[in-house]
Structure 1
């Protein structure tokens, strides 16, 4: 199925993935979003993902449903991604040139990418991990805290098991770790220490203005009147402020993916 989502870019649904294929691609991004919002990544993360596509990256955004079993989610996400790659290869979309593959995750999507990189041998040039968190089920899901006094309910793997897996087995050497100044859910400090021990020379850590929801769409529109007036000026200013943090995130990711490229303000 091919869908246009409020833009001139067309998304294809392929094996539980939402995919964009730009002309003359230079790489592939495997995107995994946060819990619940990751189910419709082509909508919830559209602005961020379409920006990456405009830079020449094939976007394969895997849809997933949240559950307590994060290992199963990681396994299925990798299988779905591989199915999309196989489909694109059969359709001769990828061509014969090598295209580097990058993992990009937000919130829970970071944990899933970390599990994929720790449990499986995957072809990844690098991972971008945005607003990582690794809470216990009782902290992440309020209802679990009430039930957990009688039932032993926890994510698989547990937060500590996840840290141990990454510390011992994570095999993606190059990583960009992004946290936001007003993100109360972020646990990137813990992950940064682990990655610094594992691949210190290949880790880049950035702190940007914003909050946990900055990567999610901020698609605000302001229709101008027939004649530009002070109210229009205020509306444009508010729109610019709303986009500022998301634009800085786009710029940071694009520079890390392609440090030799020069990005204009218009391309943000």
Structure 2
């Protein structure tokens, strides 16, 4: 394990504290509008120091690793009907590889795999609907916020509909 200098550790801690301060500020704004979003942001912020420490120590993969996942799928997967979702802009996507691994197992149990390619990125499933409360006057900031929110959530809505439609079809 690589040792870090005390100066580096303090800088890393300061960086984590800066993130925490930023999210505390955002949390103050969110708290007024959506308690569920506040809980989500809080959980995210609580994980940041641990993740930042892992990254600074050289961790670039988390557990289980993609090869471990592939091996598990190859030897143990047993879901007959499977939906695979691939996003159009995702540099770390393994959907095609997973489909090739799963196909023989799913075929052997008489199931089927459906793969869809949707517009979006690796983070599309993580986008949350932050409630924006318009004040007593509708301002340009309100219009901008609602427009950006609508654009950001469009891909997530398509994903939700796709999953719901898939389950309805079973």
Q: TM-score, normalization: structure 2?
A: 0.55
SS of structure 1 residue aligned to 2:169: coil
Q: State the partner residue of 2:163.
A: 253
Hey, which of these two has a bigger chunk of strand by percent?
Answer: 1
Which protein is bigger by CA-based radius of gyration?
Answer: 2
Q: Pick 1 or 2: higher relative contact order, CA cutoff 8 A, min separation 6.
A: 2
Structure 1 residues 15-42: Cα deviation after superposition (integer angstroms, max 9, x where no partner): xxxxxxxxxxxxxxxxxxxxxxxxxxx8
Q: Which residue, 76, 80, 87 being the options, matches 1:169? A: 76
Separation in structure 1 between the aligned mates of residue 139 and residue 64 of structure 2, nearest angstrom: 56
**Is 1:6 aligned to 2:3, yes or no?**
no
Structure 1 gap ranges (5+): 8-41, 45-65, 67-139, 146-153, 261-268
CA RMSD of aligned residues (A): 3.5
Counterpart for residue 235 of structure 1? 145
Q: In proportion to residue count, which structure has more helix?
A: 2
Judged with a 3 Å threshold, the aligned counterparts in structure 2 of structure 1 residues 246 and 158 are, in CA distance, closer, same or farther, namely closer
Distance in structure 1 (CA, Å) of the matches to 2:149 and 2:157? 12
Which residue of 215, 219, 229 maps to 2:129?
219
Change (3 A) 1:142 1:211: farther
Q: Structure 1-normalised TM-score? A: 0.37
Q: Aligned residue pairs: how many?
A: 120
Q: Deviations over 1:188-230 (max 9, x none)?
A: 1100111222224510111111111111142333332334455
